[in-house]
Structure formats: structure tokens, C-alpha cells
Amino acid sequence: MQAREKLTKETGKEPSIEEIAKDLKVEPEEIAFSLDAIQDPVSLQEPVYNDGSDSIYVLDQVKDAKNTDELWAENITILEAMKKLNYKEKMIIDKRFFDGRTQMEVAEEIGISQAQVSRLEKSAIERIKRIWK
């Protein structure tokens, strides 16, 4: 803060993070972390916009719809179910659904037919479904 104030007085303008870092002989990241650390905390319930009827809160701005509690629990369940698959089934499910490969690509990669990949994939999915319930 002292370096920031000093540079502001010297230049007559707000210094950049890089200018403060150069003055203090530290990395710009350290300055950014330090400036973030001294900010007053903001409540997630703090309104950021209000048009008279509906308010938008900080929570609405930072909400993560992709990583909900339900999705987190489902991912854990799937991972636990996958632990019960045999090596080949696990490898096929990983390549197909997590790496986005086709059955033909998986078949070529692991040296079996596309029909075998299909059969193993189907049985692995059925096992996961049974474990899930």
C-alpha cells in the first residue's frame, strides 16, 4: 500500500501491478495476491443489482451450475462403481466416455473387435447401473 501511495504521488496516476512490483523488486503475482488479500470480504447475500422488484446477489454471479452437490455425488457414485469393473471394462468406459473415443477407435487401440468393445461396454454400463441403484 505504501509503494502504491508513493508511486501515485510521484506519477499522479494509479500505478499498475507491474509498476508496484518493479518498485518493490518482487513478482507481479505477489502484488496481485497481496492486493486481493487486503480487500474487505463481501457477503454472498450482498445485492449487486436491484431494479425494484428482483435483486441479483453476489451468489447469483458466482454460482456454478455445472458442479452442483447432486453432480458431485453422482460423480463419486460413478467412480466407486467403476472401481468394481474389471480392467478391460474400465479401460473401455474411460476411453469411450471420458476420452470421447468411438468404439472403432477403442477396438483398434486395444486390439479387439468393435463388436467386443460394444459387448464389453454394454455389460460394464449394466454393472454400473446395478451398483448405482
What are the pLDDT tens digits along the chain (133 aa)?
Answer: 899 999 999 999 999 999 999 999 999 999 999 988 888 888 878 888 877 778 888 877 776 667 677 777 788 888 888 899 999 999 999 999 989 999 999 999 999 999 999 999 999 999 888 877 7
Q: Judge whether 7 and 15 are in contact, CB under 8 Å.
A: yes
Euclidean distance between CA atoms 95 and 103, whole angstroms: 9
pTM: 0.48
Q: Is the dihedral of CA 98, 100, 101, 102 positive or negative?
A: positive
The domains located in the chain, with CATH, are 2-62 (1.10.10), 84-132 (1.10.10.10)
Euclidean distance between CA atoms 83 and 66, whole angstroms: 24
Kindly list the distances between the CA atom of residue 128 and the CA atoms of 11, 53, 83, 92, in Å, as whole numbers in the listed order.
65, 47, 10, 13
